[in-house]
């Protein structure tokens, strides 16, 4: 949907169903340049990859001389409970893209790669007008120094468990969701068929009670709170969501 109205689109790109190893194997060949995948689909519904799927992608890339590229724009920089999600899967990509949380609200994006691949880049071959902006890079360095600590990552893990448990308890009462899924502080609540297409309505109801949530498609309510959110703030948010969504579930 994001490319509608824009063109021409890049050619020779094949899309395969997420977490479908058989479809992935059928699509990859000696003509494949790269396999690009999100460890957790963000806009696609907050759907985590299975470990087996990412391992298969790594094996196929190696077998066919292709690059394995992880899009960690949403999952990266502490969001899932590690600095990057690939570390939790034990599958290392050849290239990793990072942005969003990398700047802590300041615009910056980065590509991480191996020493072997990096040697093919020389000064001037991959330049951009604002690439290497000193202020943006200083901000990103400060963000990583802050986030890449045991204290922050422990908070992500603890608050993620609290949020998931609270949402499941709320769901036991209201029956809004078929499941709560995701990793760390990137969670998605998938709506029951009876509430299909109503993610935006739940989002607006939450906003009226002072809680900002997102949606990932029409059927998934997405939660991505601050990595340093407190236990008290999670508890208050859950209470406000309960008030807002009890009215929606009637």
Task: Say if residue 140 is in the same domain as residue 181.
Answer: no
47, 179 Cβ separation under 8 angstroms: no
Domain assignment of residue 238, yes or no: yes
Could you tell me the CATH number of the domain that includes residue 164?
A: 3.90.1150.10
- Structural domains in the chain (count): 2
- Cα(94)–Cα(12) distance, integer angstroms: 21
- For position 132, which CATH number holds? 3.40.640.10
3-35 residue pLDDT tens: 788 888 888 899 999 999 999 999 999 999 999
Co-location of 25 and 81 in the same domain: yes
Which residue range forms the structural domain that includes residue 120?
A: 21-147
**The pLDDT of residue 250:** 66
**Whether residue 159 is found in the same domain as residue 133:** no
Q: Model confidence over 103-112: pLDDT tens digits?
A: 999 999 999 9
**Within a domain: residue 1?**
no
Alpha-helical regions (H) of 65-181: 86-89, 115-118, 134-147, 150-174
If you average pLDDT over residues 145-169, what whole number do you get?
97
The percentage of residues in the chain with a pLDDT greater than 90, rounded to a whole number, is 88
How many residues make up the chain in this entry? Answer: 250
Percent of the chain with pLDDT over 70: 99
**What is the C-alpha separation between 186 and 222, in angstroms, rounded?**
7
């Amino acid at each position: 949907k994001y490319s509608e109205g824009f063109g021409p689109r890049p050619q020779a790109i094949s899309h395969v169903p997420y977490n479908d190893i058989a479809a992935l194997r059928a699509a990859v060949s000696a003509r494949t340049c790269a396999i690009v995948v999100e460890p957790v689909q963000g806009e696609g519904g907050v759907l985590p990859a299975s470990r087996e799927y990412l391992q298969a992608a790594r094996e196929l890339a190696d077998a066919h001389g292709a690059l394995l590229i992880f899009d960690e724009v949403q999952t990266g920089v502490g969001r899932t409970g590690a600095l990057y999600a690939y570390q939790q899967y034990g599958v290392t990509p050849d290239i990793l893209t990072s942005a969003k949380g990398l700047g802590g609200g300041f615009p910056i994006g980065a590509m991480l790669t191996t020493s072997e691949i990096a040697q093919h880049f020389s000064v001037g071959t991959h330049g951009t007008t604002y690439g290497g902006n000193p202020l943006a890079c200083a901000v990103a360095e400060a963000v990583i120094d802050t986030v890449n600590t045991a204290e922050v990552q422990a908070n992500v893990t603890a608050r993620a468990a609290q949020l998931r448990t609270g949402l499941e308890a709320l769901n036991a009462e209201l029956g809004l969701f078929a499941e709560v899924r995701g990793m760390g502080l990137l969670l998605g609540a998938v709506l029951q068929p009876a509430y299909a297409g109503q993610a935006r309505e739940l989002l607006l109801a939450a906003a009226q009670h002072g809680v900002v949530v997102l949606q990932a498609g029409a059927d998934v309510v997405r939660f991505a709170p601050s990595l340093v959110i407190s236990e008290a703030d999670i508890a208050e948010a859950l209470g406000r969501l309960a008030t807002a969504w009890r009215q929606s579930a009637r």
